[in-house]
Amino acid sequence: MTAPLTLFISYSHGDDALKDDLVTHLAALKRQGKIRAWQDCDIEAGAEWDTETQQQLDAADLILLLISARFIASDRCYDQQIQRALQRHRDGTTRVIPVILRPCDWQNSPFSHLQPLPKDAKPITQWPDPDAALFNSELSRHL
């Protein structure tokens, strides 16, 4: 059995509900041992937040950017996590996948050259059924 891919989830805390829905949709992949997802709420008490986040970001096989206006406005996400993620993507040491949660100006971002999910880059909140969008994100094809 191969080791699970490590998955780093970068998101704005203003999008917790959608992030939690996505994590729920990833549960089958976790149970199959295909992924080990990490998000900042996994930081244990007493751990240094910046150090732990950087270590997890540097170890990730796959980085999901959960895109919304809040995400783009977040200095932590935009200046720290996106820059490091894109550098690792350019180096070929990870794959970065933007997941468009809400309508926003992601086309003028540093990650606009990357093919986003879900299908046709239609924001999850604009689907008649957001669960269908999360399921239709075809993330399992990229693992």
> How many domains does the chain fold into?
1
Q: What is the mean pLDDT of residues 17-40?
A: 89
Q: What is the mean pLDDT of residues 87-105?
A: 96
Please tell me which residue, 132 or 26, carries the higher pLDDT value: 26
Out of 11-15, 16-20, 41-45, pick the least confident.
41-45
Confidence of residue 143 (pLDDT cuts 50, 70, 90): low
Q: Give the pLDDT score at 40.
A: 77
Count of CA atoms in the C-beta half-sphere (13 A) of 15: 28
Task: Tell me which residue of 113, 73, 71, 68 sits closest to 90, measured CA to CA.
Answer: 113
Confidence of residue 18 (pLDDT cuts 50, 70, 90): very high
Q: Is 97 in contact with 116 (CB distance < 8 Å)?
A: yes
Which domain covers residue 109, as residue numbers?
5-142
Q: Which CATH number covers residue 93?
A: 3.40.50.10140
- In 86-116, which positions are buried (b, 16+ CB within 10 angstroms) versus exposed (e)? bebbeeeebbbbbbbbbebebeebebeebeb
Torsion sign, CA atoms 123, 128, 129, 133? negative
Please tell me which residue, 86 or 47, carries the higher pLDDT value: 86
Question: What are the pLDDT digits (tens) for 44-84?
Answer: 777 787 788 889 899 999 999 999 999 999 988 888 899 99
Q: Give the pLDDT score at 72.
A: 94
Please count the residues of the chain: 143
Tell whether the model's pLDDT for residue 138 goes beyond 60: no
Which residues, at least 6 apart from 47, have a Cβ–Cβ distance to it below 8 Å? Answer: none
Residue 115 gets which letter from DSSP?
P
Confidence of residue 136 (pLDDT cuts 50, 70, 90): low
